[in-house]
Amino acid sequence: MTSVLIGIVGVLFFVGLVMAGALFLGPRFQQARESSKAMSLTVMASQIVLAMEVRRNEEGIPLPARTPMSLLAEDAYLKALPLNPYLGEGGWPFRALYSHDLHSPYYYADVVFLSIGHGKDAASVCRTINSQSGLGPDIQTLPRESGNDIGPAIARQNGCFRMHDLGIEGEAAPGDYVVYSRI
């Protein structure tokens, strides 16, 4: 009986320490977490870009826009398709698209596109991605007039922008933060 009580007290003590740690972790811890998520998303998008470039070098033609990303894993250019950690929070899967008309399958893909939703965490990660990419902490909002053309928003090799208030059906909801990597 005594060992059961000691076990229960030990578990309660451990839970108390975890809660205290969560309350006292400062802004540097939060910044490190955001930086880690931002770097992870950028690396995943860059891995897809590299796999697409290897495929283009071996097969002689680029990947057409809107080709299912699973093809890269099926053809062994990727060991497994990276999964968006924001899928459960309003994010969408990775896509290979043509930046000047996201709905068009008639062009070669020139951007890896990833919506990460529109929560507070997504905004912080987007800001961090832009800072890491040399764009500064500002987040550009895609102008509504751009419609399906994200060309004006992809200034660097990697970055993040905010979708206009209309969204793009099947790609990003209104106000979503979008991580991109140019091919």
> In sequence order, what DSSP letters do the residues of 99-157 get, joined into one string?
TT-TT-SSSB--EEEEE--SSHHHHHHHHHHHHHTTS-S--PBPPGGGTT--GGG--SS
**What digits encode the pLDDT tens for the residues 99-130?**
999 988 899 999 999 999 998 899 999 999 99
* Domain membership flag for residue 106: yes
* Domain membership flag for residue 2: no
pLDDT over 90 at 12, yes or no = no
What pLDDT, on a 0 to 100 scale, did the predictor assign at position 135? Answer: 84
* Domain membership flag for residue 168: yes
pLDDT over 90 at 38, yes or no = no
What pLDDT, on a 0 to 100 scale, did the predictor assign at position 4? Answer: 47
Q: What is the mean pLDDT of residues 77-93?
A: 90
Question: What one-character DSSP code corresponds to residue 75?
Answer: T
The amino acid at 50? L
**What digits encode the pLDDT tens for the residues 127-168?**
999 998 888 889 999 999 999 999 988 988 999 999 999 999
pTM of the model: 0.81
* Domain membership flag for residue 12: no
pLDDT over 60 at 78, yes or no = yes
* Domain membership flag for residue 5: no
Burial class (CB in 10 A: 0-12, 13-18, 19+), 45: buried
∠ CA 10-16-19, nearest 5°, is: 145
**What digits encode the pLDDT tens for the residues 87-101?**
888 899 999 999 999
**What digits encode the pLDDT tens for the residues 55-77?**
999 999 999 999 999 999 999 99
* Domain membership flag for residue 29: no
**Percentage of the chain modeled with pLDDT above 90:** 62
Asked if residues 95 and 48 have their Cβ atoms less than 8 Å apart, the reply is: no
* Domain membership flag for residue 151: yes
The whole-chain average pLDDT of the chain stands at 85
pLDDT over 70 at 22, yes or no = no
Q: Structural domain tally of the chain?
A: 1
* Domain membership flag for residue 63: yes
Residues of the domain holding 48: 36-182
